[in-house]
Structure 1
Amino acid sequence: MSDLLERLRGRGWRLTSQRRVVAEVLDGDHVHLTADEVHSRAVERLPEISRATVYNTLGELVCLGEVLEVATDGRAKRYDPNAHRPHQHLVCSGCGAIRDVHPQGDPLAGLPQGERFGFVLSGAEITYRGLCPECADRG
C-alpha cells in the first residue's frame, strides 16, 4: 500500500474533502489510474466533486512530487502514487495495464560512458513491455 495520505499530512498539505478523496482513490500498490478513472472513483465517494477539481488536484500532486505522471505509447496519462520508492514500469501492449517492478541493480550502470555524451546522469526510466496474462490468453 502506498503511503500517499500519510505523506500529504506530513507535508501539511491542506486536505479538503475533495483533495482527500482524490488521494484516497490514488492510494495503494500498483495504482496507475487515468484522470478520468480517478474522477469516476472519486464521484462514487463524493458525488459533487468536479472533473476540474480532480485535474487540478492531480496537477498539484505531480508538482509536489507526491505523484508521478506516467505516459505510455500515446495513451492517456496515468498517475502513480509510488513516487518515493525507486521502481520501473511493466506495461501491457494489449490493454495498457501498468505494474510497478523492482529490477535488481543500478539502471544507470547499464549506460556505458561512451553513450553518455558528457551527461551527468541523475536517473533512468525503463519501461518493460509485454502482454499481461489476460491479453496473452486472448492472443
Structure 2
Amino acid sequence: MSDLLERLRDRGWRLTAQRRVVAQVLDGDHVHYTADEIHALAVELLPEISRATVYNTLGELVTLGEVLEVSTDGRAKRYDPNARHAHQHLICESCGTIRDVHPAGDPLGSLPDAERYGFAISGVEVTYRGLCPDCAKARA
C-alpha cells in the first residue's frame, strides 16, 4: 500500500475534503489511474468534487513529487502514488494495465561509463512491455 496520505500529513499539506478524497483514491498497490478514472472514483466518495479540482490536485501532487505521472505510448497519463519507492513499470501492450515491478540489480549500474557520454545521471526509467495474462489468453 502506498503511504500517500501519511506523507501528505507529514508535509503539512492542507488536506481539504477534496484533496483527501483524491489521495484516498490514489492510495494502494499498483495504482495507476487516469485523471478521469480518479475523478469517477472520487465522485463516489464526494459527489460534489469537480473534474477541475481533481486535475488541479493531481498537478499539485506531481509538483510536490508525491505522485508520478506515467505516460505510455499516446495513452492518457496515469498517476502513480508510489513515488518514494524505487520501481519500474510493466505495461500490457493491449489493454494498458500497469504493474509496479522491482527488478534485481541497479539499472544505472548496467550502463557502461563509455555509454554515459559525460552525463551526470540523475535517474533511470525502465519500462517492460508485454501482454497481461488476460490479453495473452484472449489472443491465444
Q: Distance in 1 between the 2:111 and 2:96 partners?
A: 27
How many pairs align?
139
Greater shift, 43-52 or 115-124, is seen at 115-124
After superposition, the C-alpha distances for 1:49-71 in whole angstroms (9 at most, x for unaligned) are: 00000000000000000000000
1:122 is displaced (CA, Å) by 1.5
- Paired-residue identity, %: 78
TM-score normalised by L of structure 2 = 0.98
After superposition, the C-alpha distances for 1:57-104 in whole angstroms (9 at most, x for unaligned) are: 000000000000000111000000000000000000000000000001
Counterparts of 1:1-139 in structure 2, within 5 Å, are 1-139=1-139
Gaps of 5+ in 2: none
Q: Which 4+ stretches in 1 moved above 4 angstroms?
A: none
SS in 2 for 1:128: strand
2:8 counterpart letter in structure 1? L
Q: Distance in 2 between the 1:4 and 1:59 partners?
A: 15
Q: Distance in 2 between the 1:62 and 1:45 partners?
A: 22
Q: Distance in 1 between the 2:25 and 2:89 partners?
A: 20
RMSD: 0.5
After superposition, the C-alpha distances for 1:114-139 in whole angstroms (9 at most, x for unaligned) are: 11111011210000000000000000
1:113 is displaced (CA, Å) by 1.3
1:33 is displaced (CA, Å) by 0.2
Gaps of 5+ in 1: none
1:24 counterpart letter in structure 2? Q
Q: Distance in 1 between the 2:49 and 2:128 partners?
A: 35
Q: Distance in 2 between the 1:110 and 1:78 partners?
A: 28
2:79 counterpart letter in structure 1? Y
1:121 counterpart letter in structure 2? I
